[in-house]
Structure 1
């Protein structure tokens, strides 16, 4: 059992149970909560998410979690965002309507660039684009995706990309800025490669 505790932020828009099971299976202690004191006492904040960007940001503000995440992340606390949780780390999104994000990693969220592809659903491989040890062992491995918008971040923050079809432009699926990491895919649903990467990312951000 790891001595690290993961605070899974419950703001009403997350895939909480499967994330908890994956982390628990890796030996981490987990706290699912929207209580600031409970989350502040953890080692890592994990921001899950399914659904639309505007509704998720509204829920974060409603539960007084947006500024909590921002303040803690900027103070150096490790933060990991999964799927929509990764997109929420961006500056803005144009999904449904222009909406400000948490602004923790520079970039914007927009539709997939291929007009013939409205959704990216299923298994796809990740091309690692950095020498970050949290990601290098996952180069070429497949993970489970389910999204129609992508996080367009500057190259300096991109750790991994994916392509839906051969020859199509790659788009970011893993981003990192020091103690903050975002994963577009669902590591908790990606079997052994996903769980291993999740463990590497958590240990990596804790050493940042």
Structure 2
């Protein structure tokens, strides 16, 4: 009987780990301070250069919150905001935002074909891989790998981040080296086109 109970407890524990270690309800209590910039539920930021946080992936969000709190990823607007939060608080916050639905933007038709081609097929001539390889053909990301969902993200924010990877000012995180290599091969026009495309991707 003890073995059976231990097996059930272990099974439940592994199931919990498989679905993330955060509690969205607990995270919601700490999310009020985030709404001032990122909007309610992280869905509608007050400015395009601020990211939408909804549905990005719990692992990715948690990793970014840890990097921001430690100072490895410097974001002046967030200085001090996470100082009093524990690791569990950050995990709960990540779980909360991941549980929220991404509100997809309206992409401009002007560069959508160029953006789609780059996102889905990359640029063989310059060695840019397809974004879809890590971020999913539908922009849903790869949660276990820590690659964020991009579908619906603000084009302004994506442009800002790709430029930050390209100039080396965003170098923190497990996948930063990959993104820095990719961004270094992108032209300004390609960055704008792919950012526009993902803003309307769902």
TM-score, normalization: structure 2?
0.28
More strand by share: 1
Larger Rg: 2
More helix by share: 2
